[in-house]
Amino acid sequence: MSDRSLRGMRLGAQSMETESGVEPAPRQRVEYRCADGERVFVTFSSEADIPATWVSKTGKEALLVDGEKPDTSNDKPVRTHWDMLLERRSMDELEQILQDRLTILRERRGERRSA
């Protein structure tokens, strides 16, 4: 008898609650525009901070319509791994480390060479 009462019902897959009386959070629709004129519309919460730029689905950067241009003058230059290495070691130290490592590698391979 209990097998028949649950037939056709997907337990856990569907909510038994109704959406009556539920109000969605207040939203705002914001427009961005790419340099080539592509328009991008994004929906944000009305309480959200709106970013000055947005990346469109096509991968292009879009600017907020009627918004301020982002200030990029404060951006730090990108530090590469090499730049950070040169902050810790001098070129002479790096040359010495390279020679030491090459010597160890050659000894492992059995290529004993005189310097």
pLDDT in tens, the chain (115 residues): 555 555 566 666 777 777 888 888 899 999 999 999 999 999 999 999 999 899 999 899 999 988 777 666 777 788 899 999 999 999 999 999 999 999 999 999 987 655 5
52 SS3 class: coil
On whether residue 38 sits in a domain, the answer given is yes
On whether residue 10 sits in a domain, the answer given is no
On whether residue 72 sits in a domain, the answer given is no
Structural contact between residues 78 and 72, judged by C-beta atoms closer than 8 angstroms: no
Q: Which domain holds residue 50?
A: 27-64
pTM: 0.47
Backbone angles phi and psi of 43, in degrees to 5: -100, 125
Number of domains within the chain: 2
For residues 31 and 59, state if they share a domain: yes
On whether residue 7 sits in a domain, the answer given is no
Structural contact between residues 69 and 77, judged by C-beta atoms closer than 8 angstroms: no
